[in-house]
Structure 1
Amino acid sequence: MTITLIAAAAENNALGKDNDLVWHLPDDFKRFKAITSGHYIIMGRKTFESFPKPLPNRTHIIITRQKEYQVPEGCLVVASIEEALRISPQEEEVFIIGGGEIYKQSIALADKIELTRVHTEIEADTFFPEIDLNHWKLLEEEYHPKDEKHQFDFTYLTYLKK
């Protein structure tokens, strides 16, 4: 199994505020969809609740401490990141999509990070963990300037565990 964290974070590692994203980057959404489609995605309950409905063509695993948490058909509920990984397909890439607490718990378990670095500092209440370059190697980097659809410059970064 390859465990990949996928996120968009500002220069100050800001992810979101009040259970919502703090920017609108359509190309990043398209990349997220292309990378995660057809795979298992693991997330915390608040991240799941931030979606209007489950994301198409993906198996959702929601981590929550709520014993009787109700989810739509096709979504799975577990109590821990370890349990989420146990029930994921062992021969596939699985994606951890947030939020901040789930990223923090899983970064040490991850093999890969797909990070969109948004070139701004923004006020937030949820943050991506610091990437320790002693443990991670930058494999790919692709810069995108801001334009009429994208309010900020951003760079796609792919890290592999050393």
Structure 2
Amino acid sequence: MLIAIWAQDKNGLIGKNNHLPWHLPNDLRFFKETTLSHTLVMGRKTFEGMGGRPLPDRKTIVLTRDMDYHAENIIVMHSLGEVLAYDRDNKGKTFIAGGSAIYTEFLPYCEKIYRTFIEASFEGDAYFPTVLWNKWQLLERKQGKRDEKNPYRYYFETYGRTGAF
């Protein structure tokens, strides 16, 4: 099952120089707990922005047009079709984890969305692509806990396909 997962500010911003433009430890914990023991798919720039190493206890697929690209302990793929074939045979969940171009390419194939919506504005250079929200149904919305380390108002949202493709 393909699932998109991301955090965004109220303007749809998701990144700045291949990093998150905010620090929200509770969202990072949510990402970890949700994706643990599953597969992550991301573009090369996103992967390298995370330090160029896979996250522990997850299989990582890096999608790139560079046929010579390699990094330790990851799977390199070069097309949407390769990832879709992998997902068909995968017994676990396959999470689409960025960046913008990867989300654009895969969102039509996703069955579920996990979005952290942050009610604040940040500066950055990467935005989430336009979502046709009439094709999605909000299944759950939980307000995240605010404290000194998580100062923004934010929500963990789960969406499922409406069935109208």
Q: Distance in 2 between matches of 1:80 and 1:120?
A: 35
The runs of 4+ residues in structure 1 deviating greater than 6 Å are none
SS at structure 1 position matched to 2:108:
coil
Question: Residue 44 of structure 2 aligns with which residue?
Answer: 45
Q: Which has the higher helix share?
A: 2
Question: Residue 7 of structure 1 aligns with which residue?
Answer: 6
Unaligned runs of 5+ in 1: none
Structure 1 residues 119-158: aligned runs within 5 Å: 119-158=119-158
Aligned partner letter, 2:96: I
SS at structure 2 position matched to 1:12:
coil
Q: Distance in 1 between matches of 2:158 and 2:131?
A: 12
Q: CA offsets, 1:28-75, max 9 Å, x none?
A: 1111111101011100000110122310000100000111102103x1
Question: Residue 110 of structure 2 aligns with which residue?
Answer: 110
8 Å contact from structure 2 (residues 46, 98) kept in 1: yes
8 Å contact from structure 2 (residues 26, 144) kept in 1: no
> What displacement does 1:145 show?
5.0
8 Å contact from structure 1 (residues 4, 94) kept in 2: yes
Q: Distance in 1 between matches of 2:121 and 2:80?
A: 29
Structure 1 residues 3-42: aligned runs within 5 Å: 3-42=2-41
Q: Distance in 2 between matches of 1:82 and 1:10?
A: 31
Q: Distance in 1 between matches of 2:120 and 2:26?
A: 17
Q: Which has the higher strand share?
A: 1
Aligned partner letter, 1:9: Q
8 Å contact from structure 1 (residues 16, 126) kept in 2: yes
> What displacement does 1:17 show?
0.8
Aligned partner letter, 1:30: R
SS at structure 1 position matched to 2:134:
coil
Q: Distance in 2 between matches of 1:56 and 1:39?
A: 11
Asked whether 1:58 is paired with 2:38, we answer: no
> What displacement does 1:14 show?
0.2
Unaligned runs of 5+ in 2: none
> What displacement does 1:156 show?
0.4
How large is the RMSD of aligned CA atoms in angstroms?
1.3
TM (norm. structure 2) is 0.92
Question: Residue 79 of structure 1 aligns with which residue?
Answer: 78
Using the aligned pairs only, state the percent identity.
36
8 Å contact from structure 1 (residues 40, 95) kept in 2: yes
Aligned partner letter, 2:20: L
